[in-house]
Amino acid sequence: MINLSHFAIFDVNGCRSRALLEFCSVAKVGTDTPVSKGVLPHFLDSAGGIHSDLAIVRLAEDGRVMRGGAPRIHRDYVWMKRMVDKMGLTQVEFVDRTEQIATLGLWGPEARATIQKLMDFVAFPMRTSLRDRQRDQRSGHDDLGLPHLLCRRAGLGAVLPVR
């Protein structure tokens, strides 16, 4: 089990959020990425090396959530703010949700069986598709569908609100 709560989480919203994140990450995070799906891009430095490793999930047409490693995220945030100014992107908003969301990861061949002993899969539904996200929204969860479980090949991530 790994505590991933030290990773920073930012909502990046606005009609120009896609342009900003695609420029910064050199990856398609908009039109080719369905709502509720994510990509695992990198921010590159001026020499083309990897500056940061992160995850970007598309939550809506004009909204994404970005998760990055704690040691680098403030630097990334400042850099993105500079890019907003440099590119003249006036319609981009950042919301820091790091203190509101906790994530625990459980990996290994018995991850699902182990977490089933600890959590009710009805109360903490699996999120693997847009249909799942819509179901969660109908039941009163926020845009991230909290709480929920992220299904991965080798394990699960439990995403929970901090209270």
Does 158 score more than 80 pLDDT? Answer: no
Predicted model pTM:
0.69
Predicted confidence (pLDDT) per residue in 44-76, tens digit: 777 888 878 788 888 777 877 777 766 677 788
- Mean pLDDT value across residues 13-25: 88
Own/partner pairs for 85-93, CB < 8 Å, 24+ apart?
Answer: 87/19, 87/20, 87/23, 89/14, 89/16, 89/19, 89/20, 90/16, 91/14, 91/15, 91/16, 92/12, 92/13, 92/14, 92/16, 92/17, 92/20, 93/11, 93/12, 93/13, 93/14, 93/17
Angle value at C-alpha 15, between 11 and 17, nearest 5 degrees: 45
- Structural domain boundaries of the chain? 7-96, 99-161
Give the fold, CATH level 3, of 7-96: Alpha-Beta Plaits (3.30.70)
Strand ranges, E, within the chain = 2-3, 8-13, 38-39, 42-44, 50-60, 63-68, 93-96, 101-107, 126-127, 148-151, 155-161
Q: How many CB atoms sit inside 10 A of residue 10's CB?
A: 21
Q: How confident is the model at residue 143 (pLDDT cuts 50, 70, 90)?
A: very low
pLDDT at residue 142, as a whole number: 46
List of residues 6+ apart from 67 with CB closer than 8 A: 7, 8, 9, 54, 55, 56, 57
Predicted confidence (pLDDT) per residue in 85-142, tens digit: 999 998 899 988 888 877 777 778 787 777 777 665 545 445 544 455 555 555 554 4
